[in-house]
């Protein structure tokens, strides 16, 4: 018996390995959710805001590179999805977004909730189509998944309710082709050119992005062969343990001075599998070899002397066949010494302080790092919290990091964490989020409670939009109206939702409270009240700039005393 379009969709998703669909039920989606409900191979995960559905799907796709799926119904439901989909789009993660359309007979009549989905999803997606007739369904569905994988991004289909319920003419063709993109081998001529450039360089540094995933052994061999320091992007930080002797640290906003200096001082930089956007930290004089599967990513951030189209694994394997062993370790030793100094500074900043003192956010992040499971998934939201969570994390090499890496959106952490937790309910998932970010999508904690997802949410309470405050102070400006806000009791909120809630306000209680929080079996929130005046240690904040923070603070104090806007 032939299947409906909704059943065809379910069959195809199952065939490509999808196990969950995130969304909010209703209207046009009803035939689809009904088909999911009748099929044991796939689960519907109801959320409290469609952005949370898109974030959960994005979290899964970012971590696995495999297709994840989210839904929003006609008009407003689909509108809510879009913001979360940018997470997948900006981090090149394959997500299929399904939106419900208005009934076919009403299309084009300014019907209730009608908008133009193909227009709405155009910017965020690599492929967007309305399935206007059931005959189109197999072909469009195949195309959508093929584009999500082939172009690593969001594919969107809009389906009217009558089309969902109609009989589909056939199954999706060639589902065997619907899988992540295969590795790309570089050309031998490019390898020969790279070997020449490397042999002419007295010192080499290597900058590693998430494109190095799966090529860890080759990377290790390269570092040893060249005696070269390995720097990483935030996205790539989890590739090796923090104490690996070649894994020096990050560059730029999330990273340290040693990484910035090594990149600037090396004769040659190898950029491997990274599209790191901050050009100001990259050489602009052509002494760069960049390796990327995507030709369009070559040379757009640094001035690149040689661009190689290829995946990192095969490229390094071909290089290593002919790369001679270097004996000179002077550059590596210099960078290592600088890295030890930087690490000592981080350790000092992470000092828990005395009982009764205000807590340094760095100490909270370091405490979580020390107590997290060896293979935890560590999710971070956006804000100052990213700096604490990223810079004070001493990752094990088995842990994974997930965040709003290229979208840098506030409010994304809990949604991403829900998706991550559904990949493996037994793996610890910790999400660190600012008070502003948590409140944006607080309802997604209810999603965790409803589906018994034991995510551990740490809310850093600095009573305001911390990073924005920092930006203002860095420019010597006093805090604008709207930078600060009152907070709820996040621990009480967790309990009201049916989760567990913990609060820590002073240094002496940090360790024990965090341990109890992490040991709680279900979803839980740790409300960490931190010192709002802490300034993150970032290599791009020069010592000479620190006075601006002082001026801003003085102006804020004056304003508070005299109550005048022009103070
Ligand atoms: C969705 C979204 N809105 C606004 C911003 C601009 N923004 C960047 S950081 C930040 C402050 C975040 O505050 P909070 O979540 O409390 O974290 P904190 O910086 O205090 O650690 C804001 C508003 C953004 N990046 N994303």
Tokens of 163: 């089309």
The finding on whether 465 has its CB within 6 A of some atom of ligand 1 is: yes
Rounded to an integer, what distance in angstroms lies between the CA atom of residue 370 and that of residue 560?
39
Rounded to an integer, what distance in angstroms lies between the CA atom of residue 68 and that of residue 491?
31
477: confidence class by pLDDT, cuts 50, 70, 90: confident
pLDDT at 206 over 90: yes
Rounded to an integer, what distance in angstroms lies between the CA atom of residue 420 and that of residue 427?
9
Q: What is the pLDDT of residues 502-544, one digit of tens each?
A: 999 999 999 999 999 999 999 999 999 999 988 887 665 554 5
Q: What spacing in Å lies between the alpha carbon of 516 and ligand 1's midpoint?
A: 28
Rounded to an integer, what distance in angstroms lies between the CA atom of residue 269 and that of residue 208?
10
Q: What spacing in Å lies between the alpha carbon of 460 and ligand 1's midpoint?
A: 12
548 against 272, higher pLDDT: 272
* Radius of gyration of the chain measured on its C-alpha atoms: 25
Rounded to an integer, what distance in angstroms lies between the CA atom of residue 96 and that of residue 121?
12
pLDDT at 358 over 90: no
Sheet holding 154-159, edge to edge: 43-46, 20-23, 68-72, 95-100, 154-159, 125-130
Q: What spacing in Å lies between the alpha carbon of 416 and ligand 1's midpoint?
A: 16
Which string of b and e fits 506-515 if b means at least 16 CB within 10 Å? bbbebeebbe
Question: Count of alpha carbons within 13 Å of 73, Cβ hemisphere only?
Answer: 17
Taking CA atoms only, the protein residue closest to ligand 1 atom 8 is: 383
Rounded to an integer, what distance in angstroms lies between the CA atom of residue 144 and that of residue 86?
17
pLDDT at 559 (0 to 100): 58
pLDDT at 481 (0 to 100): 84
Q: What spacing in Å lies between the alpha carbon of 410 and ligand 1's midpoint?
A: 5
Tokens of 148: 């999500």
Q: What is the mean pLDDT of residues 434-461?
A: 98
Q: What spacing in Å lies between the alpha carbon of 526 and ligand 1's midpoint?
A: 19
Rounded to an integer, what distance in angstroms lies between the CA atom of residue 523 and that of residue 521?
7
Q: What spacing in Å lies between the alpha carbon of 505 and ligand 1's midpoint?
A: 22
Tokens of 307: 């661009």
pLDDT at 216 over 90: yes
Rounded to an integer, what distance in angstroms lies between the CA atom of residue 94 and that of residue 43?
19
Rounded to an integer, what distance in angstroms lies between the CA atom of residue 393 and that of residue 343?
11
Q: What is the mean pLDDT of residues 289-302?
A: 96
Q: What is the pLDDT of residues 359-410, one digit of tens each?
A: 999 999 999 999 999 999 999 999 999 999 999 999 999 999 999 999 999 9
In this structure, what are the phi and psi dihedrals at residue 250, rounded to the nearest 5 degrees? -90, 180
Cβ-Cβ contacts under 8 Å for 494 (sequence gap 6 or more): 445, 457, 500, 501, 502, 523, 524, 525
Residue by residue, DSSP assigns 105-146 as GGTTS--TT---HHHHTTTTEEEEEE--SGGGHHHHHHHHHH
Mutation to probe ligand 1, out of 405, 465, 485 (largest number of atoms < 8 A from CB): 465
> Which secondary-structure segment (H or E) carries 205?
strand 204-208
Please count the other Cβ atoms lying within 10 Å of the Cβ belonging to residue 468.
17
- Tell me the C-alpha to C-alpha distance, in Å, between residue 565 and each of 41, 197, 470, 471, 561: 61, 59, 19, 19, 11
The finding on whether 411 has its CB within 6 A of some atom of ligand 1 is: yes
357: confidence class by pLDDT, cuts 50, 70, 90: confident
Contact 429, 452 (CB under 8 A): no
Distance linking the first and last C-alpha atoms of the chain? 77
In the block, residue with structure tokens 């906003």: 253
Q: What is the mean pLDDT of residues 286-312?
A: 96
pLDDT at 567 (0 to 100): 47
Helices (H) and strands (E) in the chain, counts: 21, 18
DSSP one-letter code for 212:
G
Q: What spacing in Å lies between the alpha carbon of 471 and ligand 1's midpoint?
A: 11
Sheet holding 247-250, edge to edge: 247-250, 230-232, 204-208, 268-272, 288-292, 306-309
Rounded to an integer, what distance in angstroms lies between the CA atom of residue 7 and that of residue 13?
10
CA-closest candidate to residue 350, choices 536, 497, 86: 536
Secondary structure string (H, E, C) spanning 395-462? CCCCCEEEECCCCCCCCCHHHHHHHHHHHCCCCCEEEEEEHHHHHHCCHHHHHHHHCCCCCEEEEEEC
Residues in the chain: 567
Taking CA atoms only, the protein residue closest to ligand 1 atom 23 is: 465
The finding on whether 454 has its CB within 6 A of some atom of ligand 1 is: no
Mutation to probe ligand 1, out of 385, 433, 467 (largest number of atoms < 8 A from CB): 467
Rounded to an integer, what distance in angstroms lies between the CA atom of residue 387 and that of residue 538?
8
pLDDT at 421 over 70: yes
pLDDT at 556 over 70: no
The finding on whether 385 has its CB within 6 A of some atom of ligand 1 is: yes
The percent of residues above 70 in pLDDT, for the chain, comes to 95
Mean pLDDT, rounded, of the chain? 93
252: confidence class by pLDDT, cuts 50, 70, 90: confident
The finding on whether 436 has its CB within 6 A of some atom of ligand 1 is: yes
In the block, residue with structure tokens 């195949």: 142
Contact 448, 499 (CB under 8 A): yes
Residue 432 forms beta bridges with which residues? 380, 458
Tokens of 486: 């009152």
pLDDT at 219 (0 to 100): 98
Q: What is the pLDDT of residues 318-349, one digit of tens each?
A: 999 999 999 999 999 999 999 999 999 999 99
pLDDT at 471 (0 to 100): 87
Taking CA atoms only, the protein residue closest to ligand 1 atom 20 is: 466
Please count the other Cβ atoms lying within 10 Å of the Cβ belonging to residue 239.
26
Q: What spacing in Å lies between the alpha carbon of 403 and ligand 1's midpoint?
A: 13
Q: What spacing in Å lies between the alpha carbon of 18 and ligand 1's midpoint?
A: 32
The finding on whether 384 has its CB within 6 A of some atom of ligand 1 is: yes
pLDDT at 535 (0 to 100): 83
Q: What spacing in Å lies between the alpha carbon of 251 and ligand 1's midpoint?
A: 22
pLDDT at 172 over 90: no
Mutation to probe ligand 1, out of 84, 382, 413, 438 (largest number of atoms < 8 A from CB): 382
Q: Whole-model pTM?
A: 0.94
């Amino acid at each position: 018996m032939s299947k409906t379009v909704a059943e065809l969709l379910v069959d195809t998703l199952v065939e490509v390995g999808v196990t969950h669909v995130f969304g909010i039920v209703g209207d046009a989606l009803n035939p689809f959710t009904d088909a999911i409900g009748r099929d044991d191979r796939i689960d519907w995960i109801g959320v409290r805001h469609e952005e949370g559905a898109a974030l959960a799907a994005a979290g899964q796709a970012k971590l696995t590179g495999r297709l994840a799926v989210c839904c929003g119904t006609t008009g407003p439901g689909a509108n809510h999805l879009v913001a979360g989909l940018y997470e997948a789009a900006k981090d090149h993660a394959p997500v299929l977004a399904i939106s419900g359309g208005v009934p076919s007979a009403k299309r084009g009549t300014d019907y209730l909730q009608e908008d133009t989905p193909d227009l709405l999803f155009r910017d965020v997606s690599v492929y967007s189509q309305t399935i206007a007739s059931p005959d189109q369904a197999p072909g469009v569905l195949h195309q959508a998944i093929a584009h999500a994988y082939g172009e690593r991004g969001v594919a969107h289909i809009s389906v009217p309710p009558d089309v969902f319920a109609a009989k589909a003419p056939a199954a999706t063709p060639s589902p065997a082709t619907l899988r992540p993109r295969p590795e790309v081998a570089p050309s031998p001529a490019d390898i020969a050119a790279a070997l020449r450039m490397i042999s002419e360089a007295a010192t080499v540094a290597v900058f590693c992005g998430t494109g190095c995933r799966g090529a860890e052994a080759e990377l290790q061999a390269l570092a040893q062969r060249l005696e070269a320091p390995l720097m990483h992007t935030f996205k790539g930080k989890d590739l090796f343990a923090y104490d690996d002797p070649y894994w020096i640290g990050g560059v730029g906003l999330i990273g340290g001075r040693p990484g910035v200096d090594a990149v600037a001082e090396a004769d040659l930089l190898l950029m491997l599998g990274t599209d790191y956007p901050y050009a100001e930290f990259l050489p602009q004089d052509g002494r760069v070899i960049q390796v990327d599967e995507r030709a369009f990513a070559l040379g757009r951030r640094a001035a690149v002397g040689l661009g190689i189209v290829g995946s990192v694994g095969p490229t390094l394997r071909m290089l290593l066949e002919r790369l001679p062993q270097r004996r000179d370790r002077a550059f590596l030793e210099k960078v290592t010494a600088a890295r030890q100094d930087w690490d000592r500074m981080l350790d000092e900043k992470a000092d828990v302080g005395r009982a009764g003192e205000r807590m340094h956010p760095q100490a909270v992040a370091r405490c979580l790092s020390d107590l997290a499971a060896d293979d935890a998934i560590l999710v971070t939201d956006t804000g100052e919290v990213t700096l604490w969570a990223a810079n004070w994390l001493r990752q094990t090499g088995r842990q994974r990091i997930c965040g709003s890496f290229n979208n840098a959106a506030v409010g994304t952490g809990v949604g991403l964490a829900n998706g991550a937790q559904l990949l493996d309910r037994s793996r610890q998932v910790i999400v660190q989020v600012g008070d502003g970010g948590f409140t944006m999508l607080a309802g997604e904690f209810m999603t965790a409670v409803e589906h018994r997802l034991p995510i551990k949410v740490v809310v850093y309470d600095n009573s305001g939009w911390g990073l924005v405050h920092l930006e203002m102070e860095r420019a010597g400006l006093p805090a604008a109206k709207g930078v600060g806000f009152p907070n709820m009791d996040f621990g009480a909120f967790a309990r009201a939702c049916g989760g567990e809630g913990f609060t820590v306000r002073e240094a002496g209680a940090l360790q024990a409270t965090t341990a109890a929080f992490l040991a709680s079996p279900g979803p839980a929130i740790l409300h960490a009240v931190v010192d709002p005046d802490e300034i993150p240690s970032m290599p791009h904040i020069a010592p000479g700039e620190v006075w601006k923070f002082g001026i801003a603070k003085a102006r804020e104090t004056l304003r508070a005393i005299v109550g005048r806007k022009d103070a």
